[in-house]
Amino acid sequence: MVSKDHEGKTYPPFRLKPRRELVRKYWQSLGEHPDCALLPLTYLIFLRGAAQGVDLFSDLDIPREQALHGGQRYEWFAPVAMDDELEVSVHVDRVAEKASKAGPLWFADVSYEYRLVRNGAPARRALTPLVKRTPTRCAPRTSPRAPAGSIPRAPGRPAPPLPPSRSA
């Protein structure tokens, strides 16, 4: 269950390298030359840590069907080249619960810090707000559906007249 206990959790750092084929596809999708030596600014979103043991959705008990993406914010410090290796640190900065008409909403602000292994310099930081909504049950329908193509009207009012037919 999402709780304030997750706030402040830091995952063990892990290392990764960009994947050339994904970078080429990314550049091509932007209409750019696919052999650019630098990574696109937002490419690192693809290098999340689920394969490295950082599975935030499981750890925070946020089933994917209940997850909402609360946005994305980036800070860029240095260019990242295709051959750079990165060390990634993941930290749960804040966890908050808010009440809504549909039930509680949980917010978890997670930061990813990417550092260049060759010199330890910061390269990027990404802030990701994750939102868990509580599933709601739909209220049962109290009135039958109107037939397809019908014109809705207030109760007790006659239907509007049909327009005159046009003859050819």
Report the percentage of the chain scoring pLDDT > 70.
Answer: 74
The model's pLDDT over 67-85, given as tens digits with 9 standing for 90+, comes to 887 888 999 999 888 889 9
- C-alpha R_g of the chain: 25
Q: Among 166, 157, 91, 84, which Cα is nearest to 128's?
A: 91
In the prediction, which pLDDT does 119 show? 96
Quick one: average pLDDT of 141-161? 56
Q: Which two tokens mark 10?
A: 């830091």
The model's pLDDT over 23-77, given as tens digits with 9 standing for 90+, comes to 888 888 888 887 777 887 777 776 666 667 777 888 888 887 778 878 889 999 9
Q: Three-state DSSP class for 160? A: coil
Q: Among 113, 82, 114, 76, which Cα is nearest to 17's?
A: 82
Question: Residue 164: what are its φ and ψ, rounded to 5°?
Answer: -60, 145
Sequence-ordered list of residues with C-beta below 8 angstroms from that of 106, at least 6 positions apart, any chain? 2, 60, 62, 95, 96, 97, 131, 132
| Residue appearing with tokens 């990417």 | 114
At residue 124 the predicted structure's pLDDT band, cuts being 50, 70 and 90, is very high
In the prediction, which pLDDT does 48 show? 65
Quick one: average pLDDT of 77-102? 90
Residue by residue, DSSP assigns 25-52 as HHHHHTTS-TT-SBPPTTGGGG--SGGG
Quick one: average pLDDT of 20-24? 85
Output the CA angle 84-87-91, nearest 5 degrees: 145
**pTM to 2 decimal places:** 0.70
In the prediction, which pLDDT does 163 show? 63
User: How far is residue 114's CA from residue 119's CA, in Å, rounded to a whole number?
Assistant: 12
